[in-house]
Structure formats: C-alpha cells, structure tokens
Amino acid sequence: MPTIHSFAASYAEARDKFLAAARIAGAATTRFDNPSRGPAGEALSCDVAWLGPDDATKVVVTISSTHGVEGYCGSGFQVDWLATVGAAGLPAGTAALWVHAINPYGFAWTRRVTEEGNDLNRNYVDHGKPYPANEGYLEIADFLVPKDLSPATLAAADEKLGAYRKKVGDIAFFRAVSGGQYSHPDGLFFGGGGPSWSNRTLHAIADRFLKGRADVAVIDFHTGLGPYGYGEPITHYDIGTPGSRRVRAFWGESVTESKRGQTASQARDGLGHYGLNRVLTEPATRLTMCTLEYGTFDRESGQKAFRADAWLHKYGDPLGKEAGPIRAAMRRQFYPETDDWKEAVLFRGHQLVRQAVAGVQKGAL
C-alpha cells in the first residue's frame, strides 16, 4: 500500500516534508529563494534535492508545481519516492534531481500562475522576439474574466463563450482559451512580460546540475486534464526525431505526442520542454522529457475555477472574505484529496520514474 501520508495540506508543510525526506534519504539540498511571500507572510523557495554521485552521467529529474497549486500532487510523489525508494532505485552512475515547487508563489497562493501572473508553461518563449498571436483569445478575453461574478454577469459571459465555441468548434475554442496568450497580463494562460522568476530559476538549475550530462530524463508533474486519477505522459518532440523515439522507448505505448495530435492538451508555445531543450542540446546531452498530466475533474469546472481566481486577483481582494471559496475551488480542482486519487498518483509516478531510470541506461537510440 502506498504511503499516502507523503502529501501535504499546505505549501509550507510540503516543503518541510520534502526537506525532511531528502535529508533522511541522504540527498544534498539547495534552496532558491523566491522574492515574494505566501498569504500568511511565509517565506517561499524552490528547493532542489540531488541524490547520487556528483559525476553522474545519467540524471532523472522530477519537477513539481510548474502550475503552482498542482504542486500538491508532484510534491506528494517526490516525498514518497525519497522515503520509499531513494538511492536503492538508482543504478551506478545515475542520479536523481528532485525540483520541489518551481513555482512556490502559485503553490502557496493556490494559484496556477507565478507571482508575475504567468502561466509558467507558456513562458519559455524567446522574449527577444515578437510573441505568438492568439486571435481567438482577443475575442473572448472579457468573457473569460468578467468584471464581477454575479449570476447575471456570468450567465451573459457564458452565453458569449458558448456562441464562440459553437462558431469555431471545440478544438479551436480550447486552443483560444488555454493555448497561451501574450496580450492580457491579468488574463488566463498568459505567457509574456519577460522570463518569470520560476523560468530563470529552472534555467539556473539546469546550468548548475544538468549541463554536460550525457542523458537527462525529465518528468514534469501536472494535474487537471484527463480521466480522474490517470497519469498521461504528454510529449512535444517533432515526429521522427531521436527525442520522439526515446519517449516511446522509455515510457511505451501510453505516451501521447502533441505533434501527432494524440493529446487533449492545447499548449503550443513557451512550454518548459522547449526551455530545457534550448539549453540541453544533442549530441552533448540527450534530453527525454514528458509532462505527466493527472486527471481530476471535468474541464468546465476547471475553467470556472480559473475564471474566479483571475477575477479575484484582478478585481477582488486576494486576502478578503471572497478569497476563501475561490481558493477552495482551485485546490479541489487541481488536488482531489482522496486516498484513491493519491494512490493512483503514486503508482503511476513510481512506474514512470522506474521507466525513466531504465531508459537513461540505454544511451543513444
């Protein structure tokens, strides 16, 4: 039976559990201080645990909290792995790099975005170039985040969104909503405004721990898309490339490839995959990465939670009395606190990490 007690009830508890588990496992930890504070004034940081030889040529990486509140899931897995597997799961020459709470602001505030309002997984674009356009988002921006959350305003906004969805179809609708946009800093799925602290921190981690290694496998933990409790490994390699071959060799037939249209994810630009791919390049380093996306509740309830969260931080008071129910809805949407869901997270997480450890032993494919 998995040890579901590795999951935490708050960001601060998650960090404490992670640091304690890392210490007991014999991992070396490094702290990256975030300049913002949590809702209770608590200090925030991304903490990194390295387990294995310093000169390892093969590294398996897990990342939690790319989308803030989704960190409850990834953190719970990271702690469980450190407590139940640890060094015993690492062959010679292989290390584990556990990146805990890469977006600690979002984790602590029960939000998906960073302190800059960024969707981190849309932020790894080249900020020196013009941002990608999202014409669809421009059309529906004011209906996605209306000025108030009264039933009348929401009903009117939903009618407009429904009409737009009918006009363009489901795929174009979800791409407009969630594919990423670079025009509305207070809106949903915003990726612009320069590299966020979390983006810069992930680059610093890659520079310090991953550059020059022969084989690096990365599993980035997410929640909110797909069937309840199922973990889908989503990848973004171009078809026919060594990376595309490796993800299938590592993780088998359950891997979905966005370039083959196999996943429901509509993310297109600025993914963490592209950020790491720019700094860890073949042939010096073979990077094999997937987004591990665990299903929770339906997409529509997710949109409602995003809308209320964006409204709270644009028009409302994030520390006022209206904040409580909005944060509770966000938390439930991205972290179903049931034992069966946590057990599914752990089972699948251990399976994919074991496959990644075996995968990096294979070298070039």
Per CB under 5 A, residues contacting Zn ion are: 67, 70, 222
Give the nearest distance from C-beta 249 to Zn ion in angstroms.
25
CA distance 130 to 73: 34
164 or 274: CB nearest Zn ion: 274
Please give the structure tokens belonging to residue 211: 């550059």
Rounded to the nearest whole angstrom, what is the least distance from the CB of residue 68 to Zn ion in the complex? 9
Contact between residue 6 and residue 21 where contact means Cβ atoms under 8 Å apart: yes
CB-nearer residue toward Zn ion: 286 or 342: 342
Contact 94, 60 (CB under 8 A): yes
- Least separation in angstroms between residue 58's CB and Zn ion is 26
Beta bridge partners of 248: none
95 or 310, CB closer to Zn ion? 310
**Within a 10 A sphere around the Cβ of 348, how many other Cβ atoms?**
19
> Among residues 223 and 288, whose Cβ is nearest to Zn ion?
223
The residue among 245, 226, 239, 256 whose CA lies nearest residue 344 is 226
**CB 324, min distance to Zn ion, A:** 23
Burial of 238 (C-beta count, 10 Å sphere; 0-12/13-18/19+): exposed
Least distance in angstroms from the C-beta of 1 to Zn ion: 28
3-state secondary structure (DSSP) of residue 263: coil
Q: Of 52 and 191, which has the nearer Cβ to Zn ion?
A: 191
Matching residue, tokens 């979390």: 198
Q: How far is the CB of 103 from Zn ion (least distance, A)?
A: 10
CB of 136 to Zn ion, least distance (A): 20
Give, to the nearest 10 degrees, the angle between helix 323-334 and helix 71-84. 50
Report in angstroms the alpha-carbon separations of 207 from 65, 78, 100, 203, 280. Answer: 20, 22, 17, 6, 9
Closest CA to 62 of 319, 361, 345, 301: 345
Element (H, E) at 99: strand 94-100
Cα-based distances in Å from 158 to 97, 150, 249, 282: 43, 12, 43, 46
Nearer to Zn ion, 160 or 299 (CB): 299
CA distance 77 to 98: 10
Residue type at 76 in one-letter notation: G
Which is closer to Zn ion, CB of 67 or CB of 213?
A: 67
In sign, the C-alpha dihedral spanning 334, 247, 276, 261 is negative
Cβ distance to Zn ion smaller for residue 17 or 222: 222
CB of 119 to Zn ion, least distance (A): 9
Work out how close the CB of 337 gets to Zn ion at its nearest, in angstroms, rounded to a whole number.
18
For Zn ion, give the closer residue by CB, 222 or 342: 222
